[in-house]
Chain A
Amino acid sequence: MDIVEITGLTHRYPDGHPSLAGIDLTIARGSFVILAGANGAGKSTLLKHLNGLLLPDKGEVRIGGVPVRKDPLHARRTVGMVFQDADSQIVGETVWDDAAFGPENLNWTAERIQDSVEAALATVGLGDLRDRSPHLLSGGEKRRLAIAGVLAMRPDVIVLDEPFANLDYEGVRQVLTHIVTLHADGVTIIVCVHDLEKVLAHAQRLIILQQGRIAADGAPEEVVRKAEAFGVRMPAACRLGGKVESWLR
């Protein structure tokens, strides 16, 4: 069953410049999808439509069968969004407060919030840092906190915008481990990246956007061969005729 259904999605920037032009797309529940494309291809704009932060000028976005325009809150409960800049996503003064922000917005009971936040922090390995100020966390820890903040809301889909940006090797491995674990637990994962190498080995589908349109869509091993034609760098292993290895090995 498809959890994301997009038909004829068109969106323009406030200056009239088109950002998305007639996107038709469905994403199956429980899948792991990479959304790639050059700068300005429309990736982030598309992701914001999934969460109801932007509404289509034309067309329709349905999350779990419910149109986002009709019930944006349902979309935000179902699709958790992790932004590229983890710093500007942090709201709480401690790690625990930040993870609890989303569940508090959902008006959950104190016990449910407690359980959900504890579980989310444990999942991303931040349970021991619950009273730490988020400002004092490393880049990788901040990114994991951003994931925990979304995870605590128990979404069915997690959308990550450039989750590996500005992270060192260890940071990339930590974040990737959590993404892969979440996918194994049945969460639908949509990752938006420039650099395919870090995540390609784990994905089931690769979608490339170019100038607001879907330029290529299919199995990663097939689509990656056309990537450079659309401004996305092909991983070195693919150039040499091999397969991309997981960064977790």
Chain B
Amino acid sequence: MAAVAFGYHHAATWLHGLDVRVKLAAMVLLSMASLRAGGAAIVLAISVALLLLRHVRQPVARWLVSLRWYAVLLAGIVLVRALTTPGEPLFGMSRWPLSGPGMEEGLLLAGRLLFVTLFGLLLAATTRPSQIRSAVEWYLRPVPFVPHRQAATMIGLLVRFIPVILTQATEQGEALRARAIDNRRNPLRRTVFLCMPLLRRTFVTADRLALAMEARCYGSQRSTGHPWRMTVRDWSALAGAGGLCLTMLAIG
């Protein structure tokens, strides 16, 4: 399911039709703004991200289910912050004191990470990897000593590869469950049984992919030919993203 959630989903929405350079710039600006934003601003930003997900006709509930393990990671971050930050303890717990300021800090950090992740998923869902590659190439072209084509292709392949790894992880997990892995209590051993074959499979797949790319003449001289054209809609979207950044910073 995660593999299906993370990846391009074709639809005819205005976000799909937006210039990819604008989407990338908006994502960078909003991520930077979230670093300075407070709780209220993060709640606003997450709400905007969820509204946009609905707008681009994505099954929001299914996405959130796909992110359940990421949610566990975020919960872990909140817990560690709450346990390690000095301050007034919550709920009067003496043995494992969860501090109020630590909980606040942890929630803020988790909110920022969730916001950036949701925007990343939004970008991946509405943009073809080939377009992301072209946009990265466009941004890197003026930077001296950076092989912009190779860098852009690497990013494009990474985006292409994530759903494959997630699908393989799901298959591997199902195969382990079919052989009663759930009966093992030690989570470390369960993780090892999942990760070692998955790593091996990922490397084998990467190897086969490289061979297939080579067979199809992959090299540094490729057609780029992406027609860049900024329209009023693109400028408006950029202004909107800038406005959201300023609002987030103003709310604090």
Q: Interface on A for B, CB 8 Å cutoff?
A: 51, 53, 73, 76-77, 80-81, 83, 85, 87-89, 91-94, 97, 100-110, 113, 131-133, 135-136, 149-150, 153
Contacts and interface: CB of A to CB of B under 8 A. Distances in A.
Contact of B209 (A91, A108, A109): A91
Given A103-B223, A108-B223, A135-B7, A88 B205 contact: yes
A141 to B, nearest CB: 16
A26 B4 CA distance: 46
A83 B7 contact: no
Nearest to A105: B217
Q: Which of A83, A91, A110 has the most CB of B within 10 A?
A: A91
B17 to A, nearest CB: 13
Contacts of A76: 214-217
A93 B128 contact: yes
B216 A149 contact: yes
A132 B10 contact: yes
Contacts of B225: 109-110, 113
B41 interface: no
Contact of A93 (B8, B209, B211): B8
Given A88-B205, A88-B209, A109-B225, A93 B217 contact: no
A131 B10 contact: yes
Interface in B161-219: 163-164, 167, 205, 208-209, 211-219
B215 A53 contact: yes
Given A53-B211, A73-B217, A88-B208, A135 B223 contact: no
30 contacts: A53-B211, A53-B214, A53-B215, A73-B217, A76-B216, A81-B215, A83-B208, A83-B211, A83-B215, A89-B212, A92-B129, A92-B130, A92-B160, A93-B8, A93-B128, A94-B128, A102-B217, A104-B222, A104-B223, A105-B216, A105-B218, A107-B223, A110-B227, A113-B225, A131-B10, A132-B10, A133-B8, A133-B9, A135-B163, A135-B167
A82 B110 CA distance: 45
Q: Which of A81, A83, A88 has the most CB of B within 10 A?
A: A88
Contacts of A93: 7-8, 128-130, 159-160
Nearest to B209: A88
Contact of B223 (A53, A110, A153): A110
A106 B213 CA distance: 12
B127 to A, nearest CB: 9
A51 B214 CA distance: 9
A77 B214 CA distance: 11
A115 to B, nearest CB: 13
A94 B8 contact: yes
A105 B156 CA distance: 14
Contacts of B24: none
Contacts of B213: 91, 101
Given A135-B3, A149-B216, A109 B223 contact: yes
A85 B208 contact: yes
A137 to B, nearest CB: 13
Nearest to A131: B10
